[in-house]
Structure 1
C-alpha cells in the first residue's frame, strides 16, 4: 500500500508524524553548527534542510575502509555496490549518481571518468582525518546545482590548529571465513602552526588494502555458473594544506591532494588543487574559491581491456553573505563558473568498426548565479527562500527554487517544512553520440550502449514535513518526504538478443560484429515517498542509546504499471548502544536491519526476484591506554549472517570477522 502523502494529512496528524531532520549521531550531544544545508553556518536545529551528521567519534569506533559503510547507518541512506562490489550512497530512494559528494565544500565528481555514481568519490580522504560528515537528504540544487538532485554528502576534514598535533593509526580486519579477504588500513596526520596565529600547515595520508575474495566464496548456481566475489581493493592518498591568516579579516588556504584508487584492477588517479579566500568584514562575509580536479582512469571501464581516459574539472565560485536590518534578514548572493573536459580515445571516438573515428575530446561550460534569503518573520520562525539559475552550454537555462520554514513554537520543539525543485544535466559521456561502452555482460558478445545528443535534463520536485522534540536526555522525531523525478536518464532497455533488440524503442542498429546498439533515453519517471524516524536516549551519564528507522517506497512510474526499484530496501533500521564502562574503557553494541529488496524487476513486472531481509550485529571496545594511545577491537557480524551474490549487481555481506585498531597521538 503506498505511503500517504504528508501533504494530505490533517495538521494534527502531520504534527504527530513529523520528526527530526537530522540523525542523532553523536553519543553525548549534537554538533553545534552545520555548513552544508544553507548558504551560511547554522545550528543543526535551525538548518533549513534535513541534515544528519556523522561525527568523528562514530568514525573512530570501527575500521573504515569505505566511508559509505558508515553513511549506511544514516536515516534515508541505503547502499548500492554498482556491480563492482564497492559501496555507493543512495539517498531517499534515488541512485548514487544523484548524490553530490563534497570535500570541504568542493565538488568531487569521478563519474565522467568511471561511468559510475559516487562509489569512487567517497574514498579520497582517510577516515582518521575526517572531522565530521554532513548528509543533506533531499535536493540542494538551489545552492550546489546539478548532481545535488537527491542530496549532498559533505566530508569535512580537520582544521589546522593553534597547537601541533599528530596521529598514526593502524587497523586490521581478519575474516573468520578464509575464503573472504582480510583488510589492513594505515594512516597518519600532522598539523600545527609555522607562525603563531598566522601560518599553519597540515599533512595527512594513508593507504588501505582489502584482499580479493576467493572465487569459491559464492556457490555455483544450478547451471554451473558462479558469480564473481569481491575483487581486491587498494587505495593510497597524500594531502597537504597551508593556512594563512594575515589578520582578522582575511584567511587563505591552499590545498593539494594526490590519490590512487584500485578497485579490482580498475585504477583511478586524482590530483586536486584548491585555493580559497574567506573574508570577515563589518558589512558581512565573503568567500572566493578556485579548484581544479584531474582524474585519470588508467585502465578504463571494460573488464579485460585497457582504455585509459582523463577528466578535468575547473571551478571558480564565490558568495557574499550580508546581514540586513529589514525583517532581520540574512541575504546571500553567489555564483559559479565551471568547465569540464573529458579525453577518452577508446569510448569517445565512435562505435567500433566506424570508418571515420570521432574526436576523442569533449568539453562543456556551465555558469550559475544563486540567491538565498533568510527572513525571521516571527519570533521563533525563520523562512529561507532561494533560487539558483544555471546556464548549461548544452541544455540552456534552468531554475532551482526552494522554500523552507523552521519554527520553534516552544523551547523543546522544532517544526519544519520545505519544498524544492532541482535539475540534473546528463554527463559528458551519455550526452555524446560518439561515446559508447560494451554492456549486457560481455565486452565481445553482449550489447553496446551509446550516448544521445537529444537527452533532456532530469528534474525533481520534493516536499518534506517534520518536527523535532528535544527533551534533554531524550530526543524523538520523524521526517516525511515525497519526491517525484521526471525525465530520468535510463539505459535499462537493452538486450544481447539480436532478434529481440529491434523491438526496443531505443535500439539504433548493429555493430559490424553483430552486437545490438542502444542509446540512453528519457523514458522513466520515479516517485519516492517515505518516512525517517530517529531517536536518542541518555539513560545515564555513561550510557547512550540511539536508533533510527527509514521507510522508502521508490517506484518507476513511467509505464502502465508502477514497478519497484531494485536494491532499495523499504525498511531499514539501525540501533546503537554506547557505554562508558570505565573512564578508560568504552563498549559499543550496534545492529542493522535491512528489509527485503528486489534484485531483479523485469519491465513486464513478472518473475521479479527478491533478496531476503536480514540483520547484522557488531560489538566493539575502546581502551584509552594513555593520552597518547588508544586501542580498539571488536567482532563484526556476531551471528555470522551472510548473503550469497546471485546477480552481478549484488554484493556479499561479509561474515563474522574480528578487527583490531591502534591510534597513537601527540
Structure 2
C-alpha cells in the first residue's frame, strides 16, 4: 500500500482503525492522529481557549497535565514541565508557527514573553523531549503556537477586555480567501497594573538589619504592571507559499519582586520582538513532498531597573543600585524537510537546516560599585570601564543539523517510529538526539505507547561567558527519557489516558549564586533523576456538559531546585451549556505542597487551590459577552523562591480578579 501525504485520507489508510482522534503535527513532523503520534501530546483549540476565558497563552498552558506556570524574578513567568524548573525557561522550546522564540544570549524563551490569545488557531504541545525534530532546548517540553489564517477566520471580529487591576485591552482581526490568495491580519494591545501581592521582607530588608536603616520598600507590593502590543500578518498563495510576520512589544513591564528579590518601584523593562517566516510546500510526486522554510527572529531589549533601592547600604548609595541594559539578539535560518511514502507501509522523513544566532550589545550601565571592600555611588557608567563584561561581548553561533526518521506500520495496528538528529555547533559540543517509539492499537479504542528519546540543550552565550571555574567549559545538558502511555476510549463520550515516565538529566546548568544578589558563575550539576505519572479523563456527561480532569505526580531527586515546581497537581475544566447561547465554564487548579531544597531550612510551602468561573452569552448576536472571575475564593497563592535569605516569604502570584469581555463578529 502506497500513500500520498497530500491525501486527506492518510489517517484512515495508514493509521487504521484506532485513528479516532484529532490530528497534530508536532510529534511526528507530519499530520498524525494524536493517539498514535510518537510522543505524549496535547492539542488546545481556540474553542478551548474561549471556554477558559483566557487572555494570555500562559493562562491556557496552566491547565495541561504536568505543566505549571510559576513566577520568578524581574517579572519572569516560568513554564515548567514535569518538575523541571529554571528561571530562564531554558529547558522548554516555545515556537510560533514553527519559528523558535529563543533568546540565545540567556537561553530559553524571549525575555518577559507571553502572548495574547485572540489570534491563535490552536496550540500543540509535547510533554517530554522533542530534540529529534526541534533540536536544542526541547528537553522537557515543546510548545508550538499556530496563528489563524484567512481560511480559519473567513471574516473578522473586534472586541475588548476590561476589569480588575486596571486591565484594559482591545483587539481586531480579519481574514479571508479570494481565489488563489488567502490573507489575515490581527492587532491586539492593552495594559494592566497586574496583581499586587504583599511582600513582608526582601533582600534590602536583610541589608537594613545590618545597617539599622529602612531603605527597603518592604513591607510593600509587587510591581506586575505591563503594556502589550501584538500585530500579525499572514499571506498565502494557493495554500503552497506562505508569508507570516509578527511584532510584539512588552512595554513598561514591572519587575515583580525585583531583579534580585528587592522590591523595585522605579524599574521598567521593554522588549521589541520581531518574527518572520516564509514557507513553501511542494508535492514533487504523489509520494514525495518538501516543506522549506526561511525564518528570522529578532529581540531588542531595553531595561532600566534598580537592583537595590535608593538609600541602600546605610545611605552610602543614595541613588540606589541602578542598571540600564540595551542590546539586540537575533537568529535566522533555513530548513527543508522531505516526507516520502513510496515504500509500502512507511513514512520516511528527512531534513536539514542551518541556523545563525548573534548578539549585538549596546550598553550595560551601572551607577554603583559594590564589592566586599568598596561601596561607592558613581555616575551611570558603562560596565566595560571596570573590566570585561559578559553582557557587552558580541557573540555568534552557527548550527547545522540533519535528521532522518522512519514511521513503519510493520503489522496490523503496530507502528514503529525510529529517528535521529545530529547537530553541529560552531562554539560548543555537538548534539545527537535519537528516539524510538512503539505504538499498538490494541483495539479500535485502546492504544499503548512505549517511548524513548534523548534531548539536549547547548549552553547560552551568557552561561558560556561565566563558568564558575575560569578557563573551564560548560557541557551541554542532556536528558534520556523512557515512558509508557495507555489511552482508552471507553465509550463515545468517555476517553482516558495515563502515562508513566522516567528520566535522567545530566549536566543541568545553574547559577552558583545560592545566597548572593549577583551571579558568580555557572556550573554543571550532578545527575537529576525524575519519575512521574500523568493521567487525563474527558467525559461528555450530556450533550451540554463536558468535564475534563487531570492529575500528575512528578518526583525529582533532591537538589537545590527541588520544590520550585509541585510534585502533585490536579486540574479540571467543566463546561456547561446551560441554555441556548449561554455557557458556564469552571476552572479548577490545585497545586500541591512544595518541599524545600537541600540547603533551605524553611518549612514546606503550603498547597493552594484556585477556582475560576466563566459566563458567556451569544444571545445578542453578533455580540458575545463574557465575564470571568479568577481565584474566586481569594486563596493565598504563592510560588517558592530557592533563596531563603533574600525573599523568605516567597512570591505572591494571584488574588481575586474579575474580567469582562465584549466581542463583535462580522
TM bucket by the smaller chain? 0.7 to 0.9
For 2:519 and 2:651, the matched residues in 1 are separated by 28
For 2:564 and 2:519, the matched residues in 1 are separated by 26
The residue number in structure 2 matching 1:482 is 502
For 2:400 and 2:462, the matched residues in 1 are separated by 19
Choose from 165, 174, 182 the match for 1:190.
174
The residue number in structure 1 matching 2:293 is 289
TM-score by length of structure 1 reads 0.82
Choose from 120, 128, 135 the match for 1:145.
135
The residue number in structure 2 matching 1:442 is none
Indicate whether 1:156 and 2:135 are aligned: no
For 1:214 and 1:591, the matched residues in 2 are separated by 22
The residue number in structure 2 matching 1:4 is none
Indicate whether 1:467 and 2:493 are aligned: no
Choose from 242, 247, 259 the match for 1:253.
242
Contact 1:89 / 1:118 at 8 angstroms: preserved in 2? Answer: no
Cα deviation for residue 314 of structure 1 reads 0.5
The residue number in structure 2 matching 1:237 is 230
For 2:30 and 2:401, the matched residues in 1 are separated by 18
Indicate whether 1:596 and 2:587 are aligned: no
| 1:355-394 map, 5 Å | 360-394=393-427
For 2:95 and 2:635, the matched residues in 1 are separated by 34
Contact 1:270 / 1:296 at 8 angstroms: preserved in 2? Answer: yes
Choose from 191, 214, 230 the match for 1:209.
191
Deviation string for 1:609-652 (max 9, x for gaps)? Answer: 42201111111211012442211113222211123678559432
Residues 85 and 450 of structure 1, relative CA distance in 2, 3 Å threshold? farther
Contact 1:108 / 1:121 at 8 angstroms: preserved in 2? Answer: no
Indicate whether 1:572 and 2:569 are aligned: yes
Q: How many residues align?
A: 581
Indicate whether 1:226 and 2:227 are aligned: no
Q: 3-state SS of the aligned residue for 1:653?
A: strand
Cα deviation for residue 329 of structure 1 reads 0.5
For 1:421 and 1:517, the matched residues in 2 are separated by 30
Indicate whether 1:536 and 2:538 are aligned: yes
Deviation string for 1:91-140 (max 9, x for gaps)? Answer: 1122322010011111111352xx4743747524x311111111101111
For 1:30 and 1:260, the matched residues in 2 are separated by 41
For 1:350 and 1:495, the matched residues in 2 are separated by 26
Contact 2:52 / 2:60 at 8 angstroms: preserved in 1? Answer: no
For 1:150 and 1:313, the matched residues in 2 are separated by 22
For 1:41 and 1:571, the matched residues in 2 are separated by 33
The residue number in structure 1 matching 2:282 is 279
For 1:399 and 1:586, the matched residues in 2 are separated by 49
Cα deviation for residue 231 of structure 1 reads 2.3
Residues 541 and 341 of structure 1, relative CA distance in 2, 3 Å threshold? same
The residue number in structure 2 matching 1:306 is 324
Choose from 626, 629, 632 the match for 1:635.
629
TM-score by length of structure 2 reads 0.82
Deviation string for 1:502-529 (max 9, x for gaps)? Answer: xxxxxxxxxxxxx987221112322221
Q: Which blocks of at least 5 consecutive residues in structure 2 are unaligned?
A: 1-18, 255-267, 308-321, 366-380, 642-646
For 1:268 and 1:139, the matched residues in 2 are separated by 29
Deviation string for 1:521-548 (max 9, x for gaps)? Answer: 1123222211001001111111111100
The residue number in structure 1 matching 2:371 is none
Choose from 343, 350, 372 the match for 1:333.
350
The residue number in structure 2 matching 1:658 is 658
Residues 300 and 423 of structure 1, relative CA distance in 2, 3 Å threshold? farther
Q: 3-state SS of the aligned residue for 2:526?
A: strand
Indicate whether 1:623 and 2:614 are aligned: no
Contact 1:432 / 1:451 at 8 angstroms: preserved in 2? Answer: no
For 1:210 and 1:656, the matched residues in 2 are separated by 15
Cα deviation for residue 355 of structure 1 reads 5.2
The residue number in structure 1 matching 2:263 is none
* CA-atom RMSD in angstroms: 2.8
For 1:302 and 1:524, the matched residues in 2 are separated by 34
For 2:104 and 2:167, the matched residues in 1 are separated by 26
Q: 3-state SS of the aligned residue for 1:625?
A: coil
Q: 3-state SS of the aligned residue for 2:557?
A: strand
Q: 3-state SS of the aligned residue for 1:39?
A: coil
Cα deviation for residue 279 of structure 1 reads 1.4
Deviation string for 1:236-284 (max 9, x for gaps)? Answer: 0211121111xxxx71111122211132111100122211101123232
Indicate whether 1:455 and 2:479 are aligned: no
Choose from 101, 109, 116 the match for 1:118.
109
Moved more, 201-210 or 339-348: 339-348
Indicate whether 1:342 and 2:359 are aligned: yes
Cα deviation for residue 398 of structure 1 reads 2.2
Choose from 612, 622, 628 the match for 2:606.
612
Contact 2:636 / 2:652 at 8 angstroms: preserved in 1? Answer: yes
Residues 65 and 452 of structure 1, relative CA distance in 2, 3 Å threshold? farther
Contact 1:241 / 1:256 at 8 angstroms: preserved in 2? Answer: yes
Deviation string for 1:551-594 (max 9, x for gaps)? Answer: 011234xxxxx566132111100122211111211112221101
Deviation string for 1:455-492 (max 9, x for gaps)? Answer: 11111100100111102211122110111110111213
The residue number in structure 2 matching 1:199 is 181
The residue number in structure 2 matching 1:51 is 41
Q: Which blocks of at least 5 consecutive residues in structure 1 are unaligned?
A: 1-28, 175-180, 436-448, 497-514, 557-561
The residue number in structure 1 matching 2:72 is 82
